[in-house]
Structure 1
């Protein structure tokens, strides 16, 4: 499945209306915010579509997955939108993550806990709030809102230390930049180590660069720690490969179209995480060229010159000590890349 899918679930008293953008959507929030009510309404409609007051409008078939027989239930579902309420412990397991990775469904998971086995985006974590959209009408309208979004850019970020999530090409690129500008750069060898490093180095001006496409399970505790530590900042492009594509060094109109509406191109069965998709696009579009890209070892063509400058220009309000004229260009511009900056 790919694309955006709008869902409207309603009775005469309640109405939920929201749009899914990716294969993994997380709904969070305290008790009595309507999370379980939403899943209950969908279950009622599925079990008794003609005898329930619940109306469900969606271009895809919706399902509710629950209980010990979840795996057998899931084997019968294809090209659908699967809702899972909190309390189903299987969502925390590697078995669940491995199983849904092989499907072509979208998943909406209600949980107050992080799910490190799943590569979900920080952008696709939502809460539910009641809106006054319907005025004095009795119907209560419930809308989703992003819990983590793009913060407003203010002052430039000037770190002393740069942390990258892994040791692949992204780390190699930023290590080169840092070395040239007298900064430290370290690889965390996995997103789960970011929190511990920041917690142990609260006296340093740290910039964390991680793949936003899969950082959802860590965003809560890392962002909380960063808010307590005013010297740290978190930068979340979709991925390093996305950053290269966004820089425009390939000068490809089709890539521009993909970046404008990635949901319309990313097939969930083939790409469990958007990071994998952008890596595939970059590799395919640089094959047999001087910019030929490899995930494990960065092509030196990306280090230095106009290519390096173009990539750095995408990192608005972040100064790693490179040429001052580049940072001057950035001043006053609006932020378009998802990053959190304290």
Structure 2
């Protein structure tokens, strides 16, 4: 599945309206905010249709996955938007993550815990809030809102340390920039180590750079560290490859069009996370050029002064050059 799918579900007393943009959407929040009610309404409509008193409008089938037989039921669900409530024990398992990866569905998951086996985006973590009565009727209108906002500086920020998620080309790039500069660059060796490396250095000026397209499970504890601290900046582009593509270094109209609406181009069954798509796209578009890209080791052409400045220009208010 790909594309953005608009969903409206309502009964006589409540109405939910929202868009689903990626293969994994997370709904968080406290009790009594309407999360479970949403899932229950989806399930009731699937089972009983309009006789349930519920109206559901979407261009894809919406249904609920639950219970111990989930692994038997899921393979039969195709090209659908699957809602899952937080009381299902299978959610954090590797078996479930593998089943999601192999399917062509979108998933809307209610959970208060980070699901470390699923590569979900920080941009697709939502709460549900009531925004009053709908159209003057006795019907409460619910909408999604982003749990995590930006945590970038409002003015020029000079780091002591830059922490990069991995040790591949992204690290090579930022480490190369740091030569003869007054800051150091370290690799966290994976997103699960970002918190530890940041905590160790929490009293110095730190920039954290990680792939936002798959960093969702780490956000809660990292934001608890970052919130209220002006000396820690969290920069989460979709991925390092996206950063290059977004810099217009390639000067490709096709790439620019894709970046305007990635959902229309990213097939969920082929790409478990958007990070993988952007890596594939960059490799494909630079093949047989001087900018030929490889994930494991950075092509020195990207550290050329002109190229590096183009890439860095897309990073807000962080002094790296």
Q: Shorter-chain TM-score: what band?
A: over 0.9
Alpha-carbon shift at residue 202 of structure 1 (Å):
2.0
Moved more, 47-56 or 117-126: 47-56
Alpha-carbon shift at residue 133 of structure 1 (Å):
5.1
- How many Å separate the matches in 2 of 1:203 and 1:41? 47
- How many Å separate the matches in 1 of 2:231 and 2:276? 31
SS at structure 2 position matched to 1:132: strand
Equivalent residue number for residue 142 of structure 1:
142
Q: How does 1:30-45 map to 2 (within 5 A)?
A: 30-45=30-45
- How many Å separate the matches in 2 of 1:82 and 1:127? 18
SS at structure 1 position matched to 2:109: strand
SS at structure 1 position matched to 2:66: coil
Equivalent residue number for residue 192 of structure 1:
192
- How many Å separate the matches in 2 of 1:319 and 1:50? 57
Moved more, 304-313 or 165-174: 304-313
Asked whether the 8 Å contact 2:151–2:233 carries over to 1, the reply is: no
Equivalent residue number for residue 299 of structure 2:
299
Q: How many residues align?
A: 321
Consecutive unaligned residues in structure 1, runs of 5 or more: 323-342
Asked whether the 8 Å contact 2:153–2:318 carries over to 1, the reply is: no
CA RMSD, Structure 1 to Structure 2 (Å): 1.2
Q: 1:78 to 1:135 in 2, by over 3 A?
A: closer
Moved more, 227-236 or 50-59: 227-236
TM-score w.r.t. the length of structure 1 is: 0.92
Equivalent residue number for residue 82 of structure 1:
82
Alpha-carbon shift at residue 150 of structure 1 (Å):
3.1
Equivalent residue number for residue 335 of structure 1:
none
Equivalent residue number for residue 100 of structure 2:
100
Equivalent residue number for residue 261 of structure 1:
261
Q: Is residue 2:155 matched to residue 1:159?
A: no
Moved more, 164-173 or 221-230: 221-230
- How many Å separate the matches in 2 of 1:4 and 1:50? 25
Consecutive unaligned residues in structure 2, runs of 5 or more: none
Q: 1:121 to 1:243 in 2, by over 3 A?
A: same
Asked whether the 8 Å contact 2:153–2:233 carries over to 1, the reply is: no
Deviations along 1:17-71, one digit per CA (max 9) or x if unpaired, are: 0001111000011110000000011111111114210111100001100111101
TM-score w.r.t. the length of structure 2 is: 0.97
Alpha-carbon shift at residue 153 of structure 1 (Å):
4.8
